[in-house]
A and B are shown apart, each in its own frame.
Chain A
Amino acid sequence: MLIVIYAYRLTLAGRLNVQNFDYQVIINALPLLWEGLQLSFLLTALALVLGLLWGTCLAIMRVWGSAPLRWFSAIYVNAFRSIPLILVIFWFYFLVPMLTGESVGQFYSALIAFTLFEAAYYAEIMRAGFNSVSREQYQAGQAIGLTYTQNLRFIVLPQAVRNMTPVLLTQAIILFQDTSLVYVVSLRDFMTTASVIATREGRLIELYLFAAAVYFVICFSGSLLVKRLQKKVAT
């Protein structure tokens, strides 16, 4: 409400009037922004799939692995969760060309950074999911004569997956927001594109507000979806 009143007063003062707000610059930028958004989605999708795969491995190691594997997984997860994502992006932007001996471009080094980083968070969510299935469930499975794998497949995993899906989806939304950080290595995702155009056209207000609106619409719809799913899971 206050914001509306304030916007109205600004309009009266002629500082936020409709002519001043340059829609044209956004319309002209749409094709480039769309390309950027596609790259953001692509990066999110790939990092999500790869991160989930690696995260599942880490979680399995942590919950059912032998002692060295448990330790490895615990150290990996805690180390990645203790350092900022930007530092991880810098690390791989610097490391990947050095290890492979050739330049692979920002996209692949960013993808590797996101995959390894997000996997730590997914592993932690999954571990909580596995642990959320009570021990009695497992014992009940044993009592009716299920083998270890049957027990996991039919008793433990279905419940665990059900419990952790909403949290995993929320983490996917966070991942989508985090992809904006590839700005620091100038990879042309949605955010970087908006910033480049904003600076080139001298239209910072229009482009940053537009970028914020687009991100908000996507993330808010995502979180509404998660909420609906959560209600379903709870019943």
Chain B
Amino acid sequence: MEYNWDWSVLFQVPYFGWLISGIQWTLLVAGCAWVIAFLLGSLIGVSRTLRNPILRGIGAVYVEVFRGIPLLVQLFIWYFVVPELLPQDAGMWVKRELPQPEFTTAVICLGTYTAARVAEQVRSGLQSLSGDLSNAGRAIGLTERQNYLHIRLPVAYRIILPPLTSEFLTTFKNSSLALTIGVLELTAQSRQIENYTFHGFEAFTAATVIYLVITLSVVAIMRGVDRYLRIPTNAGGSS
């Protein structure tokens, strides 16, 4: 194995900047997608626990469809197919004037995809709550909506914090798929450095280390948050 080691290449002028900009895009895609995923996923998760069969049906179909199609296929559909199917004017606008089209598409795609997975977590969190909690809410005169907003959802989020953290990390890793439509995030930048310098080993190591550091920091932070928010009487609680 002959390989010309040169770690300094990572710190040379264009390449270091590429890595930094890659980190920014990765965090930006993952962060924006997570906002969509969390809001939409919570809505769908709640709708699956309601009594209304139509809303429940919509939630179930959404989850099955978005989980049953690979993320890459969904990304291409959002990028190539959806603009064609929109009404004429809207399609034109998306094709010509949408700001940062690749980034926006990646965020919407990743957000709606992750929403299906968040929805499942929210649903299981809500279903794990005892019926007494809702009854107590009703007894003090809360409407169904208030009951969800002020009692059931806050408790459910605290229960599902660990799986939600791992969903966020999955989103963070899945943001690398955005490179297929041209978003120059971290993985794309490391690939580009390899192409320009032939120092693939250094470039991929840098990307790997950055991903590891971010993941481990998120895990460490969320472990602290979880300890703080954990419901004391819950099984496995530190009490």
Contact = CB atoms under 8 A, between A and B. Distances in A.
Interface of A: 1, 10, 13, 15-16, 79, 82-87, 90-91, 94-95, 98-99, 101, 177-178, 180-181, 183-184, 191, 195, 198, 204-205, 208-209, 211-212, 215-216, 219-220, 223
Contacts of A216: 65, 68-69
Contact of B177 (A16, A181, A208): A181
A68 B190 CA distance: 32
Contact of A83 (B65, B69, B173, B177): B173
B207 interface: yes
A183 B76 CA distance: 12
B126 to A, nearest CB: 20
Contacts of B179: 86, 184
A220 B177 contact: no
27 contacts: A10-B85, A13-B87, A15-B85, A82-B169, A82-B211, A83-B173, A83-B207, A83-B211, A83-B212, A84-B211, A87-B208, A90-B194, A98-B3, A178-B70, A180-B70, A180-B72, A181-B72, A181-B177, A184-B180, A198-B80, A205-B84, A212-B73, A215-B70, A215-B73, A219-B69, A220-B68, A223-B68
* Contact-residue size bin, chain B (C-beta under 8 Å from the other chain): 35 or more
B interface, by DSSP: helix, strand, loop or mixed? helix
Contacts of B54: 1
A87 B73 contact: no
A82 B166 CA distance: 10
B64 interface: yes
A183 B211 contact: no
Contacts of A209: 77, 81
Contact of B76 (A85, A86, A195): A195
Contact of B187 (A84, A99, A223): A84
